[in-house]
Structure 1
Amino acid sequence: MKHKICLLFLLSPLAGCVSSMVPPTVDQAAGMNVPAAWSGSMRSAKDALSPAGTPHTDIAVWWQRFQDPLLNQLITQSLQTNTTVQSAQAALRQARAVRDVSAAAFMPKLSASAAAQRSKSGTTAPANSFSAGFDASWEPDIFGANRQALAASEASARASAASLGDVQISVAAEVALNYIQLRMTQVRLAIARANVASQAETLQITNWRVQAGLLTSVEGEQGRAASEQAQAQISALETTEAQSRHSLEVLCGQAPESLRQQLQSRVAITGDMLSVASGVPQADDNLALSLPAETLRQRPDIRVAEHQINVALARVRQADVANYPNFNLSGSLGLRALTAGALGGSGSLLSSILAGVSLPVLDGGANRSQIKAQQAALEQTQVAYKAVVLTALQDVENALVALKNDRERLQRLRNAADAAGNAAVLARQRYASGLIDFQTILETQRTWYSAQDAVATGSNDLAADYVRLYKALGGGWQPDQDEAVSMRDSRNPSNDDIKK
């Protein structure tokens, strides 16, 4: 007993050294100056998404703000069947299994064995030997080596959980962006086909006037060239439509062309350009932004970087503990006899117990170098954390600026398209009456088509800005539920919001 007390007394200063060597926490290691508020670009009286000071909007199911049932269905499907999501789920299961392996190091190890042997030497009669028993061992975690290994595995598992959330957010955003682009392409196709029909009518009038001698063949060829150019635009847009549809199908874990019927164009030409452009889904504007610090906590990529710092911290401590003694207790209990029936006798009982300690004395500086290596890895994770935070701040600010300017730009484009449409109607009437020349009608039609096409593109840009903003704000991921495997129960389409 006295020897044990002396041993503990001698080792207590070492334990104090280990406990005193505590690397900085995550907040200390990666402390940064985060702005108190986002730029005021979205807070103008006319443009504001919501009044300042309003509680921030819950964007857990941000895609429902586009009020498009098919988009909701596609995102729900992608969160279940997308290959990248499934791979991230498998990585999370692997990380949790590794964590369980580290946790098992705290428990004693027990193994059972049994053996039967028959041996013969020279002229000696053969002899039998039977044995059975248990072996047990345990390593007391006095200096915390196993504890730090478990902490690293736990942080790694949490990082994998956050990585899964990041993948889910990215996939949901990509599905939304591809869906919006597909609808925009279908709108542009409808506009192009309407333009082809209008060009055909103009060409017919031109041919009649050429036959009547009111125009020359030059105007006739110009009309035919304009008609052919409009037809060529349709072929290019049809290619873009098919490619966008294929990308969307693969994101949903489906083979190309498998969702063709569901993704058919729903745009009908009514002669009103604005009704045509409404084929691009748009989100509502009643969005109140959370503060920058809150937003950063809602982004899974930042939580991944935080957990990676925790992993590196634990590895540094674990490397330092390797310089201190390692204790081991082991024992065995068994039976050995010459016959199987004699194994139960009192004389066949064997037992042993062993206590050991090992201490690194000379390793050529390997442990010291290992500590330096882990400290350098810690510095890398700190720099990586800072880079992720700066990127997050940039993403939100870029999305806010784009959203503000694209909203204003779209309104201008709509006004221009209205004016171009009125001019085209008047020009066609006057051309049919012979009051204007062919160049005027050709130019007005070209301007009207370009204006409508620009409105469709502008609608796509504005909708995409909202998607990017929702993604930059964290996509509804909840940082207090790192252990969840998916956003929510993805089997329930009504609860398919992003949660971790």
Structure 2
Amino acid sequence: MQRPLGLAVFLSLGVAGCATGPDYKAPLSADLGVPASYAGRQAAPLAEAELANWWTRFGDPALNALVEQAVAANLDIAQAEARLRQAREASVQAGAGLLPSLGASAGGGRNFNSSSGDNNSFSLGLDASWQADLFGGTRRGVEAARADEAASRYSLASVRVAIVAEVVTNYIQLRLAQEQLRIAGANVGHQRENRNIAGWRVQAGLVSSLDEQQARVQLAQTEASIPAIEGNLAGALNRLAVLTGQAPGAATQALEAPAPIPEPPAGISAGIPADTLRQRPDVLGAERSLAAATARIGVAEAQLLPSLGISGNIGTSALRPGGLFDIVTGALFASLGQTIFDGGARRSQMRSQQAAVDGAFASYRQTVLGALEDVENALVAGQAAERRTGQFAEAADAANNSALLARLQYQSGLTDFQTLLTAEQSLLSASNSLAGSRAEEALAVVQLYNALGGGWQTMDGSGR
């Protein structure tokens, strides 16, 4: 027994450095279709510190506090953290397969015999077993589990990136709704004054009642827009409460006080090198998922090869505790197994895993290309919003001057009410367009930083 057992141990040690399946190599950028830069633009990569806390560049303390609260209390982040802890324990469990298992037993009892009398019995035992990783299948399993753990961490980071972006987005929409309410309120004030003036002129016989009715229509339409804006405001407040892990209502009362739409930060690079996408956690997670799928080819391939198991036990028994170690017995066994026929199940598992690798590579590439698309769209949206803001600002200034002049002329009887009505409608439209464009400019910045994967770079081991 000693020679076969020694040979088995020798063989297991001899192949310990081998592992079935392919060794993973990360795909090159060219294989993923990643260009050196986007659309011919060149720029230095954004600093990690800028990406990590990008929302602070808006210079809004209320927004900073909201993001910090969401990172600490958001329930989607809490769920992702739980999944990461599960993945870490799966890595521990996979690594345990490389080590032997030990078990101990102890027993005691009293035997009753009418002829020989009663006596006690005691026993101690120790069992050990080890499944030799002859062809590296277990090691490939550990490799896959660790890659899964990394993918779970990047999944958590992706959730955090998305939550931060959603908080900032809803905050901007909240401030936009407050600005729209301010604009509507100011226009309602002017339109009430216009209605009163039209009523006085009708009573004086200077104009027909058509002026007064048109003034009433204009006022009612503007007032009718207010409830919808208030609904948007309430929706943004409620969403911010949930994003920060709180019930809607009292949690966001401090945000109900009107404040300006956050000013977008200046100085963001006009072009982002493709290497910056290495910051995106979904891209990093897709790459780790590909690594895990590749490692599992080795796990499946190892099932086709022989397995070696070694086990042993030591035990003793006695009629009294003091005699337990007088006689100690033990045994050592080795077993070699090989599946001869399983209907092709194991080979099918290996082919299935190879297909999983192909799917993981396609998913990785799709994630990278989608990330490129996101950045391109964000850059274009930011540039377009910036141009529109300048144009709407000029339009709003002109519309305001025109409305002031039209009011004065109507009061003096120098123009008709239709001219005033058109000027007031132009002012309301231009003011809302300017507010919307300013919000879009800020939202484009959110879109860009979200596309670049900003907001997770300072995440610690727990995900916070």
Indicate the SS of the match to 2:373.
helix
- Counterpart of 1:454 in structure 2 is 433
What RMSD, in angstroms, separates the aligned Cα atoms of the two structures? Answer: 2.6
Cα 1:477–1:30 change in 2 (3 A) is farther
Conserved 8 A contact 1:21-1:317: yes
**Partner amino acid for 2:80?**
A
Within the alignment, does 1:263 sit opposite 2:252 as a pair? no
Q: Percent identity?
A: 40
Of residues 112, 118, 125, the one that matches 1:133 is 125
Indicate the SS of the match to 2:255.
coil
CA deviation map 1:121-147 (0-9, x unaligned): 897755543211211122222211211
Instruction: Determine the C-alpha separation between the residues in 2 that align with 1:98 and 1:361.
Output: 31
| Alignment partners' CA distance in 2, 1:163 and 1:256 | 27
Q: Select the residue among 301, 320, 324 that pairs with 2:305.
A: 324
The match for 1:39 is 39
For the structure 1 residues 483 and 262, does the alpha-carbon distance in structure 2 shift closer, same or farther, using more than 3 Å as the test? closer
The structure 2 residue matched to 1:87, chosen from 61, 76, 79, is: 79
2:461 aligns with: 484
Is contact 1:183-1:265 (8 Å) kept? no
Shift in alpha-carbon separation, 1:462–1:226, aligned structure 2, 3 A = same
SS in 2 for 1:323: coil
- For residue 156 of structure 1, what is the aligned residue in structure 2? 148
The within-5 A match list for 1:424-443 is 424-443=403-422
One of 62, 65, 70 as aligned partner of 2:57:
65
Structure 2 counterpart of 1:285: 266
1:441-490 CA distance string (max 9 Å, x none) = 11101110110011111111111100010011111544xx998333xxx5
Using the TM superposition, give the Cα deviation of residue 292 of structure 1 relative to its aligned residue in structure 2, in angstroms. 3.5
TM-score after normalising by structure 2: 0.92
Matched residue of 2:253: which SS? Answer: coil
Q: Which moved more, 1:157-166 or 1:327-336?
A: 327-336
The alignment status of 1:216 with 2:237, answered yes or no, reads no
| 1:139 alignment partner, SS class | strand
- List alignment gaps of at least 5 residues for structure 1: 44-51, 268-278, 491-500
- Provide Cα deviations, 1:99-126, integer angstroms capped at 9, x if missing partner: 0111122222111111234456897755
Counterpart code for 1:464: L
Query: Which segments of 5 or more consecutive residues in structure 2 lack a partner in the other structure?
Result: none
Aligned to 1:48: none
Q: Give the Cα–Cα distance (whole angstroms) in 2 for the partners of residues 209 and 109 of structure 1.
A: 99
User: Does 1:411 pair with 2:403?
Assistant: no
1:146 to 138, 141, 145: 138
The aligned counterpart of 2:193 is 201
Question: Which stretch of the first structure deviates more once superposed, 115-124 or 131-140?
Answer: 115-124
State the alpha-carbon separation in 2 of the partners of residues 280 and 163 from structure 1. Answer: 31
Change (3 A) 1:170 1:34: same
CA distance in 1: counterparts of 2:119 and 2:276, whole angstroms? 77
Task: Please identify, of 195-204 and 352-361, the stretch whose mean Cα deviation from structure 2 is larger.
Answer: 352-361
Contact map agreement 2:129 2:310 (CA 8 A) in 1 = yes
**Alignment CA distance shift 1:10-1:123 (3 Å):** closer
For residues 243-392 of structure 1, the aligned pairs below 5 Å read 243-267=235-259, 279-288=260-269, 291-344=272-325, 346-347=326-327, 349-392=328-371
Q: How many pairs align? A: 461
| Residue 46 of structure 2 is aligned to residue 56 of structure 1 | yes
Cα displacement string for residues 237-263 of structure 1 (whole angstroms, at most 9, x for unaligned residues): 111111111011111111101333221
CA displacement at 1:2 relative to structure 2: 6.8
TM-score under structure 1 length normalisation: 0.86
The one-letter code sitting in structure 2 at the alignment partner of 1:113 is S
| 1: CA distance, partners of 2:271 / 2:101 | 51
